[in-house]
Amino acid sequence: MRRWRLSLLPLVAAILAACDASAGGTQSVVHGDPTRYLLGLDQLVSPDFTVVETARAVDAATLAGGDATLKQQLLHDGFSAASRVRYFRQADLAIANGPIDVTSTVAILATASGAHDWFRTLAAHLYRSAGKAPLSTGALGDEAHADTLVRTTAGGISVVQVTLEWRVANAVNVLVVRGRYGGTRLDDALVLAHRVTVNELPGM
């Protein structure tokens, strides 16, 4: 456990440095194809994941989940481009540890201020789903939000969905991980989120 914590220290330090730069008004912007910033298959911690939905462009309507009001807000905030990818691994859900289903989405907006507005709108919208509980994320990008949703399958197994939304400059990220309740935690999602974040930091 101590070794795992130490391995995260360089990532956390880099993220905190990026936040300090942002506060000083020297924040860089994320640019280019958003697919390059998605969580990669080789960045997943657990073995046996496969790509079940290949990395693809996502339009404003899809990103807004079909909500016309959200779509208009996204366009108003300066939506530029977005990409999404999904991974899955076969496991016995009753005893599985770690995520078994992971979806990574990255949206790039024209400005950091527009991304800030979209992040706030999206986080509030996602949290309104019944049964969701908010969690603190610790240092993650320029601003971050997390929530969990627990449900019971027809077979009586408790499952959890952890959703992380965070912003790095003008990029808004959403990471959704699902697995057995008690075997999948926010910590699992944060490890993956930090790997995405480092790719988006200025100079990386």
Q: pLDDT tens, 6-56?
A: 444 444 444 444 444 343 333 568 888 999 999 999 999 999 999 999 999
Statement: residue 87 has pLDDT above 70: yes
Beta bridge partner(s), residue 22:
none
Dig out the tokens for 63 from the structure: 């990103």
Residue 90 and residue 50: Cα distance in Å, rounded?
9
Q: What is the pLDDT of residue 129?
A: 73
Residue 83 and residue 99: Cα distance in Å, rounded?
21
Measured between its terminal Cα atoms, the distance across the chain in Å is 27
Calculate what percentage of the chain has a pLDDT beyond 70: 84
Give Cβ neighbours of residue 177 (< 8 Å, ≥ 6 apart): 99, 101, 102, 103, 161, 162, 184, 188, 189, 192
Beta bridge partner(s), residue 172:
107, 167
Amino acid letter for position 107: A
Q: What is the pLDDT of residue 24?
A: 34
Which H helix or E strand runs over 134?
Answer: strand 133-135
Q: What is the pLDDT of residue 192?
A: 97
Give Cβ neighbours of residue 129 (< 8 Å, ≥ 6 apart): 149
Cα 94 to Cα 156, 157, 158, 180: the distances in Å are 9, 6, 9, 7
Q: Name which of 153, 201, 163, 154 is nearest 184 in CA terms.
A: 163
Q: Would you give the distance in Å from CA 80 to the centre of its chain?
A: 18
Q: What is the pLDDT of residue 6?
A: 42
Amino acid letter for position 190: L
Please report the domains of the chain, with CATH numbers, ordered by start residue.
Answer: 2-200 (3.40.1000)
Dig out the tokens for 185 from the structure: 């935690």
* Cβ atoms 203, 55 nearer than 8 A: no
Residue 85 and residue 165: Cα distance in Å, rounded?
15
Q: The whole model's pTM is what?
A: 0.84
Q: What is the pLDDT of residue 38?
A: 96
Cα 188 to Cα 28, 53, 72, 76, 104: the distances in Å are 28, 21, 33, 33, 14
